[in-house]
A and B are shown apart, each in its own frame.
Chain A
Amino acid sequence: MDLSAINPMLFVAGFLVAATPLIFAAIGELVAEKSGTLNLGVEGMMITGAICGFAVAVESGSPLLGFAAAALGGAALSLLFAFLTQVTLANQVASGLALTLFGLGLSSLLGQSYVGIKPPRLPDIDFGPLREIPVIGPILFTHDIILYLGLVLVAAVWAMLKFTRAGLVLRAVGESHDAAHALGYPVKRIRTMAILFGGACAGVGGAYISLIRVPQWTEGMTAGIGWIALALVVFASWKPWRLLLGAYLFGGITQLQLNLQGAGVAIPVEYLAMSPYVITIVVLVILSRDKSAAPASLGRIFHASS
């Protein structure tokens, strides 16, 4: 065992990157679920965002344009879900699963000619002297803008849900769509917008994998991160800060177990490999012992006649 082989600064910087796709996908889904819609298509929207972002970044040479395209791609796919569940009143679970299958197929079709290409690199933000601060500098100030945007997004969603009128209306729609409807709020329009927001966030999360974390395009490259994001929303009790904590915990322990393996720590590898899932779930379950905060109308179909 040689723990000195692990560089703590590189390790922390690494897990911030690993957690970012999860943060985007989960915070988007959190908003969608707060409005009362359960979209299981996160994986499909992520992978669609991954290829849309990759393709546009490669063609245009601009990674930022790629991320914008990824948001559009994810939102466009989620529009399909919105149509199915809000207009045709289809079952949300089945529609979400179909969305994932559709997204996986669509992305491999779109990605045919992008295998093996290197995407343009999004430069890290230049923080100047801040970068030179010992320990904190290399950890906090050596990242690209999207990573920081993820943090801002979590804060913004939290503030929006807690302090603003829009947040209140969104939560009202999620808790009791009939009551919200009776008060004159456009339930379907609000839900559609929440779904679109979720799709855009998932798309950006996917593009973060294909443009920054890996970076390349490979079919099926999200490999289950969308599903972890879905679980994270539930275990975080629909609370943005817990969600952030869960994402960091998951990303951190994933990185840590790889580091420990490399350093030859004498814990059986199987335990290390499952530790990110177990520890994240246990910690979040303990944190959420108070009350389950699931929106009361989650997954229920709304029609004005009912």
Chain B
Amino acid sequence: MNRRTLLAGAAVALALATGAYAQDKTKVGFVYVGPIGDGGWTYEHDQARLAVEEEFGDAVETVYVESVAEGPDSERVMTQMALDGADLIFTTSFGYMDPTINVAKKFPDVKFEHATGYKRADNVSTYSARFYEGRAIQGHIAGKMTESNIIGYIGSYPIPEVIRGINSAFIHAKKANPDVQFKIVWAYTWFDPAKEADAARTLIDQGADVILQHTDSTAPQAAAQEAGNVITFGQASDMAQYAPKPRVSSIIDNWAPYYIDRVKAVMDGTWESTDTWDGIGPGMVGIGEITDAVPAEVKEEALALKEQIASGDYHPFTGPINKQDGSAWLADGETADDGTLAGMNFYVEGIEGDIPQ
């Protein structure tokens, strides 16, 4: 599957190199961590790729390689794309961070965009979405909806992005319902439906009636649907096929406007290395429809919270918040700065268990 796209890309590049009009097209490459049909993370990146094609038509050519393992494989794929003449390459997983930097060094004329990382270079931009804003809203709904007061959370890897999400969801679940308890299971994969389903089922067996996930497939939804009285949230994509229940709302990644912007910048020659981190306000993070399975008043509260976050009146990490060990982190009314959020490696007070180091 990977090789297929790669070979197709190579063939096209060869054809273009010999053709006279080769210089006219801007070539954009995408490296995906899962299959484009995962229904979640990679699916949304691919939707944005299609949006780029639609926007610019014949002026761009896009290539993608899916299910690329984080590590040496991804470096090879990026190198191949650069050799094939890509002008801009989006690498869409945290684990591609070092490979992206390595390849970017070798190809100073190619522009790179790395999703969710923190290392930049002259030709490497980073971009991410403030998913924790969406997770605050889900946490609120989760806290209000749980009857067993046990909320299960399927984590992928213990990186700041995921830890931030857990903390944000926990803080707001706790505000909505002081009795909630989080059970966290690490899957050590972004995409493995069988394992994700097992993890969801384990959490349900242990009493959770709300499942939050930070992995990419819809398998936890399927497992929850089968279990019956459990609710879930769409992750990265709307996952509306599981509405109105178990999926009662969702966080949606909307990369299309950003991708179109950046491709345009390359075409105009105005591209610069930047760091973008947008949330609900600018629309990079969307909240999928809150279904009727959620009581009207809870839905209203959630939407109000969304409005407050979008307008900037409220920051999901507003003090007083202590760290897990009881030490003070944010004073009353203080909000977290982006630096701390970007490197977050601690749980907030009240979450049980340790972060795998």
| Docked complex: A106-149 residues within 8 A CB-CB of B | 108, 111-112, 115-118, 121
Interface 9-residue window, one of B29-37, B93-101, B108-116, B290-298: B29-37
Please tell me if the beta carbons of A264 and B353 are within 8 angstroms of each other in the complex.
yes
Q: A101-B4, A261-B186 are in contact. Are A5 and B37 (CB under 8 A)?
A: no
Inter-chain contacts of B3 with A (CB < 8 A): 101
Nearest CB on B from A112, distance (A): 7
Nearest CB on B from A298, distance (A): 27
Q: Which of B36, B199, B241 contacts A258 (CB 8 A)?
A: B199
Q: Which of B189, B193, B226 contacts A218 (CB 8 A)?
A: B193
Inter-chain contacts of B354 with A (CB < 8 A): 266, 268
Q: Interface size on A (CB < 8 Å)?
A: 45
Q: Which chain B residue lies CB-closest to A119?
A: B222
Q: A11-B205, A101-B1, A220-B34 are in contact. Are A273 and B186 (CB under 8 A)?
A: yes
| Docked complex: B170-201 residues within 8 A CB-CB of A | 183-186, 188-189, 191-195, 197-199, 201
Please tell me if the beta carbons of B205 and A223 are within 8 angstroms of each other in the complex.
no
Please tell me if the beta carbons of B198 and A220 are within 8 angstroms of each other in the complex.
no
Q: Which chain A residue lies CB-closest to B3?
A: A101
Nearest CB on A from B91, distance (A): 19
Inter-chain contacts of A111 with B (CB < 8 A): 37
Q: Which of B35, B189, B205 contacts A108 (CB 8 A)?
A: B35
Q: Which of B4, B185, B191, B239 contacts A223 (CB 8 A)?
A: B191
| A245 sits at the interface (CB 8 A) | no
| Docked complex: A80-123 residues within 8 A CB-CB of B | 101, 104-105, 108, 111-112, 115-118, 121
Whole-angstrom distance between the alpha carbons of A209 and B197 in the complex? 10
| B232 sits at the interface (CB 8 A) | no
Please tell me if the beta carbons of B4 and A215 are within 8 angstroms of each other in the complex.
no
Q: A219-B36, A220-B34, A273-B186 are in contact. Are A214 and B202 (CB under 8 A)?
A: no
| B28 sits at the interface (CB 8 A) | no
Nearest CB on A from B218, distance (A): 6
Inter-chain contacts of A216 with B (CB < 8 A): 193, 218-219, 222
| B345 sits at the interface (CB 8 A) | no
| A263 sits at the interface (CB 8 A) | yes
Whole-angstrom distance between the alpha carbons of A7 and B192 in the complex? 24
> Chain A 44-85 against B: per-residue CB contact (8 Å), 1 yes, 0 no?
000000000000000000000000000000000000000000
Please tell me if the beta carbons of A264 and B352 are within 8 angstroms of each other in the complex.
yes
| A255 sits at the interface (CB 8 A) | yes
Please tell me if the beta carbons of A219 and B35 are within 8 angstroms of each other in the complex.
yes
| A242 sits at the interface (CB 8 A) | no
Please tell me if the beta carbons of A105 and B193 are within 8 angstroms of each other in the complex.
no
| Most chain A beta-carbon neighbours within 10 Å: one of B39, B193, B353 | B193
Whole-angstrom distance between the alpha carbons of A6 and B201 in the complex? 12
Instruction: Beyond A112-B37, A223-B195, list 10 extra A-B contacts (CB 8 Å).
Output: A18-B194, A101-B1, A216-B218, A220-B35, A220-B67, A221-B193, A221-B217, A255-B202, A263-B206, A268-B357
